[in-house]
Amino acid sequence: MKSRTRLVTIFVLAIIALAAASFSTQSKSTQPTKPPARTLCATDERVIFSCVLRQPAKVLSVCASKDLTNEKGYLQYRFGMPEKIELEFPKDHANTQQQFEYSHYFRARVDMTEINFTVNGVSYSVFDDYNGEEKPEVMEQGVTINWPGTNKKEVRYLCSSKPKADYADLQDVLREH
């Protein structure tokens, strides 16, 4: 009788283990897909600006070394996805501060910030604009791309939500636009 009870106990435990394994597998496969990363900056970098764009659904980031000053460190623009960065400017981390311009305009109910640079004759402007004088108020962030001296139309990619942004000290580090 003891062996039969023991056999039934082992059988019941096996069924419980199989059910638990099946439930674990099902719960993993029905989990929602992970949203795109909100930054292309590394954990040891400072996020100057970063957001997921509406269309195309890619990430736009301006990253800096933690020690960024006008004499040391680096600043870098990145566009794409974490597994496939499509544009990284500049490639080299030396003297990056001279390749960017910064502007900030502020008055009551208006706040406009831009980080500008040019790659192979194409102008990029990462912007963070708020205009509370408009009805309704306008808040837009993203990147504008221009091809000066051509007939190509300006392209404007907007962030899908408010970006992570930290412009502290940029006016002391970058040239004024």
The one-letter amino acid at 76: Q
- Say which residue, 83 or 28, is predicted with more confidence: 83
pLDDT in tens, 118-177: 999 999 999 999 999 999 999 999 999 999 999 999 999 999 999 999 999 999 999 998
pLDDT in tens, 32-61: 555 567 999 999 999 999 999 999 999 999
The answer to whether residue 3 scores a pLDDT higher than 90 is no
pLDDT in tens, 88-131: 999 999 999 999 999 999 999 999 999 999 999 999 999 999 99
The answer to whether residue 83 scores a pLDDT higher than 50 is yes
Task: Output the pLDDT for position 28.
Answer: 44
Q: Domain segments of the chain: what residues?
A: 1-31, 45-176
Distance between CA atoms of 138 and 109, rounded to whole angstroms? 10
Task: Output the pLDDT for position 97.
Answer: 96
Decide if 110 contacts 133 (C-beta within 8 A): yes
Distance between CA atoms of 143 and 115, rounded to whole angstroms? 9
Instruction: Provide the CA 62 distance to its chain's centre, in angstroms.
Output: 8
pTM strictly above 0.85: no
Task: Output the pLDDT for position 177.
Answer: 85
The answer to whether residue 67 scores a pLDDT higher than 90 is yes
